[in-house]
Amino acid sequence: MHFFQIQCGLGRTGHLWAHEAYGVYPDIMTLAKPLAGGLPIGAALVSERVAAAVKHGDHGSTFAGGPLVCNAAIAVLEKISRPGFLASVSKKGQYFKELLIQKLRGNSHVREVLGSGLTVGIELDVSASPLVNAC
């Protein structure tokens, strides 16, 4: 199983990895820009079973190991790892959802405000394209 954690990983859902909330764990997980605060970086994390199938030289990158971006990634991981950080993401996300529900109450096109942590969405009963295009 392969999970893309590019949009939902690194604490955005209130969990380090979004799949942790569901007790499901991938064989391969990819992550990218949020790892270094928006700087160009990518990573592939693999289970022991997958790692055993990869031989030396099977994987490489011409951009791997850049010191500036890797130091940015270390700073991001240190911040996310601080005690209480992920809990604060969950708390802020809950507040944000409650605020959206309050502000959107009475709008007949809003079906639901949903999400986890700071990954929040609004389900509409009409196309969102006109709203997106207006922005």
Q: What is the pLDDT of residues 97-132, one digit of tens each?
A: 999 999 999 999 999 999 999 999 999 999 989 878
pLDDT at position 56 over 90: no
Range of the domain at 95: 89-134
pTM for this model (two decimals): 0.81
Last-in-domain residue among 41, 57, 81:
81
Greater pLDDT, 59 or 25: 25
d(CA 37, CA 26): 24
Q: Clarify whether residues 64 and 94 are in a common domain.
A: no
User: Is 124 in the same domain as 72?
Assistant: no
pLDDT above 70 coverage of the chain, percent: 100
Alpha carbon separation from 31 to 12, 18, 59, 81, 135 (Å, rounded):
12, 12, 16, 17, 28
